[in-house]
Structure 1
Amino acid sequence: MYRFFFGLSRLMAVFGGFILSALIVMVCVSIAGRSLNGFLHADMVQAMVPGLANWLLDIGIGPVNGDFELVEAGIAFAIFAFLPYCQITSGHATVAIFTDWLPERPQQFLRMVIEILFAVVLIVIAVQLKEGMDSRIRSGQTTFLLQFPIWWAYALSLAGAAVAACVAVYMAIVRTVEAFTGSVLIADDLGAEH
């Protein structure tokens, strides 16, 4: 079971990383296009090479249309895509000042409580995203510039949130078994500590 959830989490993280990388490239292209567009409109360039400047402007040199709309939708998905991997590898940042001195069993109990709370919160988030998506489908809302339906962004985020919720429930079950048996089923040493 662990292999399935770990593989699914890793796949989501890779897909989220791909989307995030594409967004970074798009933002860089948009910023370069916006700068070049401003340069081509400059009086000096229009005076020196008006034909070339106007030709470049006519072919569409400028910012990516709707870049902020794409970034908004893509970043939301990327965040939810990274959550399952973070959850299954115990990658959430922890501050263990008050718990490092505790024996192993109370620490296992604390990990169980935290995983259960994470699972509840991620389930609530997924349910709310589903309700938000249904509302956007009914209203027919679209983005301002690109005119794509807003529910598409909700659907992408919901996919990531649903996987995150499933992984969180799995981890809550694992940590509960660990707390009541005293065994270690999944190592907790992969997390980030601050």
Structure 2
Amino acid sequence: MYPFFLTLSRGMAWLGGAMLLVLILLVCASVLGREANGLLHADAAQALAPGLAAWVLGLGIGPINGDFELVEAGIAFAIFAFLPLCQITGGHASVDILTQRFPDMISRGLRLVTDIVFAAVLVVMAQQLWLGMLSKKASGQTTFLLEMPVWWAYALSMTGAVAAAVVACYIAVERLREAATGRTILPVDLEADH
């Protein structure tokens, strides 16, 4: 099962990375469009080449309409898309100054408790996103500029949250099995280097 969940986690991370790439390109295009629009409206462009400036401005050069709304929704998805990989590799931030000196039995117990708490929190987050999505869908709320239904962003983010919750539950169950049997089930290198 571990290879399946690792593949799922990596796939979600790739989707999150692709979303970030698209958002970077979107922001760059919007900033360049905004700057070009400002330059073409400047007195120098209007004095030197008013016809060219008017023609280029007529093409609609300028900032991308609703760029902030798209970035907001896309970043939310990307954050949730990276959570499964972070969970399965143990990549969450931690302070190990004290715990690294604990005996193996105590370290395993702390890891078990931490993974159970993470699973519970991620399940609650996915559930709250589901409820929020239903609420936004029922209200018909849209974004200001693009008039895009707000529930779309919730649904997009919920895919990552559900994947993170499923992976976290798998990790928690495997930690419980490890505690019950005394065997190591998950790979030893599961923990990410911090």
Scaled by the length of structure 2, what TM-score is found? Answer: 0.96
SS in 2 for 1:168: helix
Separation (CA, whole Å) in 2 of partners of 1:53 and 1:176: 68
In the alignment, what sits opposite 1:95?
95
Separation (CA, whole Å) in 2 of partners of 1:30 and 1:179: 53
What are the ranges of 5 or more consecutive residues in structure 1 without an aligned counterpart? none
Separation (CA, whole Å) in 1 of partners of 2:53 and 2:169: 58
Q: State the shift of 1:183 in Å.
A: 2.6
Separation (CA, whole Å) in 2 of partners of 1:33 and 1:44: 18
In the alignment, what sits opposite 1:191?
192
Separation (CA, whole Å) in 2 of partners of 1:73 and 1:84: 19
Number of aligned positions between the proteins: 193
Runs of 4+ in 1 over 3 A off after TM superposition: none
Separation (CA, whole Å) in 2 of partners of 1:68 and 1:82: 21
After TM superposition, list the pairs within 5 Å mapping 1:106-185 onto structure 2. 106-185=106-185
Say what the alpha-carbon RMSD is for the aligned residues. Answer: 1.1
* Residue identity in the other structure for 2:12: M
Separation (CA, whole Å) in 2 of partners of 1:97 and 1:182: 26
* Residue identity in the other structure for 2:192: G
Separation (CA, whole Å) in 1 of partners of 2:190 and 2:150: 40
In the alignment, what sits opposite 1:45?
45
SS in 2 for 1:176: helix
Percent identity of the aligned residues? 59
Q: State the shift of 1:189 in Å.
A: 5.1
Separation (CA, whole Å) in 1 of partners of 2:141 and 2:113: 39
Separation (CA, whole Å) in 2 of partners of 1:101 and 1:78: 35
Q: Which moved more, 1:91-100 or 1:108-117?
A: 91-100
Separation (CA, whole Å) in 1 of partners of 2:86 and 2:71: 22
Q: State the shift of 1:91 in Å.
A: 1.1
Q: Is the 8 A contact 2:88 2:190 kept in 1?
A: no
Offset from partner CA, 1:5-56 (integer Å, 9 cap, x none): 1111111110111011100111011111111111111011111101111111
The answer to whether 1:32 aligns with 2:35 is: no
* Residue identity in the other structure for 1:134: L
In the alignment, what sits opposite 1:57?
57
Q: Which moved more, 1:183-192 or 1:144-153?
A: 183-192
Q: State the shift of 1:190 in Å.
A: 3.9
In the alignment, what sits opposite 2:4?
4
Q: Is the 8 A contact 1:88 1:171 kept in 2?
A: yes
Q: State the shift of 1:64 in Å.
A: 0.8
Q: Is the 8 A contact 1:91 1:191 kept in 2?
A: yes
Q: Is the 8 A contact 1:137 1:151 kept in 2?
A: yes
What are the ranges of 5 or more consecutive residues in structure 2 without an aligned counterpart? none
Separation (CA, whole Å) in 2 of partners of 1:99 and 1:184: 19
